[in-house]
A and B are shown apart, each in its own frame.
Chain A
Amino acid sequence: MIRLAVAQIDTVLGNVDANLEKHLSRIDEAVQEKADLVIFPELSLTGYALQDLTSAVARPASAEDPTFKVLLEASRSVDILAGFVQLDSRNRFYNSAAYLSRGEFLHVHQKAYLPTYGLFDESRFFAWGDVIRAFDTPLGRLGVLICEDFWHASPPYLLWLDGADLLLFMSASPGRGLDTQEALESARWVEHVAQAYASLFTTFVTNVGRVGFEDGLGFWGGSVVFDPHGELVARGPYHEESLFVAELDPQQLHRARTRLPLLRDERTELVQRELKRIRHTRMPGPRGLGTLSE
């Protein structure tokens, strides 16, 4: 059994020390709950709508960094996934997530899809990540994606093929779309998408959301955990802070993939061949985003 603690928190905008303190208190709670892993939302150490604060809160993913020094020490008791602004050696800023375990960085994911439309303005402030990789941990092979990353079908797909049996999604989703239903439209979208990946990839999928406000933007929480059958294991409350623990039984992967051998039957050679053709004939250009050739 994997005991996954989901820390659905509010953050202080641009105050890393205050956010670190909250992380440590939730990490303590997770340790008391005998969790194996505690996960935090997107940009959990900094807050979301940073704008011109981006460069001021950026830090390297390094054991020398005072914030990470503390978190790495805490990771000796429980694995930790937290969001931060990453400063690279060339002074670029990334919307990143660090997976820490037993005093080490096991993985840093740089958000590869930066929403820059509607109310989002991320690529104005952040550099684009360019790598999607699963990674090994004491809990098994995992994959991390940040919000817009999982609105594109390919990153979860790649992580699945790369061996991730637990997909960890981190979000800071401003609530929008008030209608007659119990949850906001934005909450329903994310839940549908996470559930769809769990079902299609017969894998564990969790999304950790944040709560609180940044000016008029209200973050809705509603963190979810789905099992490899696509069934809901646990859900956090909407619009309120919470720490809850979900028990994930790895044997469920065995049962789900016996029933539904989608992974066994996945035809990567076919995908690659067709993708190559599509890339060259229909979507040319530097990032594959060029105009249609037809």
Chain B
Amino acid sequence: MTRDEIMLEINPALARKILTGFIQSETTRAGFDRAIVGLSGGVDSSLACTLAAEALGPENVMAVRMPYTTSSADSLEHAGLVIEKTGVQATTLAISDAVDVLLNGIPEDQKVRRGNIMARMRMIVLYDQSADFRGLVIGTGNKTEMLLGYTTQFGDAASAINPLGDLYKTQVRQLAVEMGIPEVILEKPPSADLWIGQTDEGELGFTYEEVDKLLYLLVDRRHSPDDCVDAGFDRKFVETVVELVRRNHFKRVMPPIAKLSNRTIGYDFLYMRDWGT
């Protein structure tokens, strides 16, 4: 399979059916019938919010907008379009004051550190809203960002269930089109919006279209890095991505527990989370 032959097209109607079923099943079995979604106005969270609304009913979904001082005005407005379209409940809780307390003394150029504080502050807000609204926090992370580690651990990566984690970013877009996510959201460059002018592709140094194809070959099709070079990918690019996937694995698994007893959580104490339901 060469680079140009790789197709990431999905049947979005089938994905929609499975993912709404998943949200419905996993929310109710956890003892909830409501959900919380942090809504940034980007494609991923707009899609997660729309799926949750379809699965649980819009009245059972709370969209939380959490702007910071430097957040783009478009983000708030685009989130508003999704709230209006889906009819979900909504609240806006600015994180600026809480974040600024922590940012005090952190130099402007330490962008990752500052961005992580914002991402984790949003997590705190969502989990607090979860307790208040009695809703599960729906994750918005996609397969591309999880594999590349382009997430903040215990920040945007934190959730109770994750419907989008097995869709590459380019596949998320296809499903977003199917679900009627507003054009203006689909067309803007993806951004974590943690600082002015930030874009995912600018920060990563490659496009989602390119990296999704490579990840598909490496992960889904189990090709070796050398195979990928033969398929037409630049060797340096392949090596960079392979290393990102390896180095960020810690973000995808629970922290290792030092085994001492005969039965240890994670190793030989094995149950699905749906145990008994």
Contact = CB atoms under 8 A, between A and B. Distances in A.
A214 B274 contact: yes
Given A12-B277, A13-B272, A13-B275, A218 B22 contact: yes
The secondary-structure label for the interface of chain B is loop
A203 to B, nearest CB: 31
Contact of B14 (A14, A51, A182): A182
Interface in B1-41: 7, 9-11, 14-15, 17-18, 21-22, 25-26
Contacts of B274: 13, 213-215
Nearest to B165: A216
A212 B21 CA distance: 8
A53 B11 CA distance: 35
Given A179-B9, A216-B22, A52 B271 contact: yes
A215 B273 contact: yes
Contact of A181 (B11, B21, B26): B11
Given A179-B10, A181-B11, A216-B22, A49 B17 contact: no
A119 B9 CA distance: 23
Interface of B: 7, 9-11, 14-15, 17-18, 21-22, 25-26, 166, 269-277
Contact of B25 (A14, A15, A182, A212): A212
Nearest to B10: A178
A22 B271 CA distance: 23
5 contacts: A15-B276, A175-B18, A178-B18, A183-B14, A214-B272
Contacts of B7: 179-180
B136 to A, nearest CB: 14
A233 to B, nearest CB: 24
Interface of A: 12-15, 49, 51-53, 175, 178-184, 212-216, 218, 238-239
Given A178-B18, A179-B7, 10 more contacts: A12-B277, A52-B269, A52-B271, A179-B9, A180-B7, A213-B25, A213-B26, A215-B26, A215-B274, A216-B22
A238 B17 CA distance: 10
B11 A52 contact: no
A49 B18 contact: no
Nearest to A176: B166
Nearest to B14: A178
A46 to B, nearest CB: 12
A239 B17 contact: yes
Contacts of B272: 13, 49, 51, 214-215
A168 B166 CA distance: 33
